[in-house]
Amino acid sequence: MTDIAGILERELGSAAVIGPGHERLDDYGRDESPLPEFHPPACAVLVESTEQAAAVLRICKERAVPVSPRGAGSGMCGGALPVPGGIVLSTERMTKIKEIDAGDLVAVVEPGVVTGVLQEAVEAQHMFYPPDPASLAFCSIGGNAATNAGGPRAFKYGVTREYILGLEVALMGGEVLRCGRRTAKGVTGYDLVAGFVGTEGTFGVITELVVKLLPNPPAAATVLAVFADMAGAGAAISALLREGLRPRVLEIADKSSIDHVRPKSRYRFPANAGAVVLLEVDGEPDAMALMMEKIGVRCDDLGALDVLAAHEPADRRALWEARRLISPSLKEAYRVKVNEDICVPRGRIVEMIARVQQVSLETGIDTAVFGHAGDGNLHVNLLSHDDPDDPAVRTKMWAAAERVFAHTIALGGTLSGEHGIGTTKRDYMRMEQSEQVLEWQRRWKLMWDPSNLMNPGKKIPARTKACSE
Ligand SMILES: Cc1cc2nc3c(=O)[nH]c(=O)nc-3n(C[C@H](O)[C@H](O)[C@H](O)COP(=O)(O)OP(=O)(O)OC[C@H]3O[C@@H](n4cnc5c(N)ncnc54)[C@H](O)[C@@H]3O)c2cc1C
- Residue 201 CA to ligand 1 centre (angstroms): 11
CB–CB of 158/194 below 8 Å? Answer: no
Pairwise CA distance, residues 330 & 191, whole Å: 41
Q: Same domain for 64 and 102?
A: no
pLDDT at 1 over 80: no
**Which pLDDT belongs to residue 468?**
47
**Greater confidence, 246 or 448?**
448
> The domain containing residue 121 runs over which residues?
97-215
- CA–centroid distance, 148 to ligand 1, in Å, is 9
The yes-or-no verdict on residue 469 having pLDDT over 60 is: no
How far apart (Å, rounded) are the C-alpha atoms in residues 345 and 377? 9
Q: What is the pLDDT of residue 36?
A: 72
Share of the chain above pLDDT 90, in %: 91
209 and 222 share a domain? no
**CA separation for the pair 82, 195 (Å, rounded):** 23
327 and 384 share one domain: no
Task: Tell me, yes or no, whether 380 and 303 share the same domain.
Answer: no
Q: Which CATH number does the domain housing residue 122 bear?
A: 3.30.465.10
Centre of ligand 1 from the C-alpha of residue 306, in Å: 35
Q: Would you say the CB of residue 55 lies under 6 angstroms from ligand 1? A: no
Q: Is residue 211 part of a domain?
A: yes
Structure confidence at residue 466 (pLDDT): 55
Q: For residues 91 and 206, what is the distance between their CA atoms, to the nearest angstrom?
A: 9
Domain boundary among 215, 234, 269: 215
> Which of 236, 227, 221 is CA-nearest to residue 291?
221
Domain boundary among 42, 57, 90: 90
**pLDDT by residue (tens digit) across 359-371?**
999 999 999 999 9
Residue 124: inside a domain: yes
* Ligand 1 near 140 CB (within 6 A): yes
Give the tens place of pLDDT for each residue, 188-223: 999 999 999 999 999 999 999 999 999 999 999 999
Domain CATH for 66: 3.30.43.10
Percentage of the chain with pLDDT > 70? 99
Query: Could you identify the atom of ligand 1 that is nearest to the CA of residue 94?
Result: 41
Distance separating alpha carbons of residues 143 and 120, to the nearest angstrom = 18
Atom 7 (ligand 1) nearest CA: 133
325: CATH = 3.30.70.2190
* CATH assignment of the domain containing 354: 3.30.70.2740
pLDDT tens-digit series, residues 70-127: 999 999 999 999 999 999 999 999 999 999 999 999 999 999 999 999 999 999 999 9
The Cα-based distances of 244 to 240, 248, 278 in angstroms read: 7, 13, 17
* Pocket flag, ligand 1, residue 376 (CB < 6 Å): no
Q: Do 308 and 223 meet the contact criterion of CB atoms below 8 Å apart?
A: yes
Alpha-carbon distance of 25 to 116, in angstroms, equals: 26
Asked, for residue 457, whether it belongs to a domain, the answer is no
Please name the residue ranges forming H helices in 148-284: 154-157, 192-196, 230-242, 255-261
Is ligand 1 within 6 A of the CB of residue 73? yes
Q: What spacing in Å lies between the alpha carbon of 147 and ligand 1's midpoint?
A: 6
Question: Which of 5-19, 140-154, 194-208, 236-250 is predicted least confidently?
Answer: 236-250
Mean pLDDT of all residues in 412-436: 96
Number of domains forming the structure of the chain: 4
Same domain, 314 and 368: no
pLDDT digits (tens, 9 = 90+) for 251-266: 999 999 999 999 999 9
pTM: 0.96
Nearest CA to ligand 1 atom 44: 201
**Ligand 1 atom closest to Cα of residue 75:** 29
Final residue of a structural domain among 215, 236, 264: 215
Which of 139, 172, 421, 424 most suits a substitution to test ligand 1, by most atoms within 8 Å of the C-beta?
139
Rounded to an integer, what distance in angstroms lies between the CA atom of residue 184 and that of residue 162?
Answer: 11
What pLDDT score does 233 carry? 94
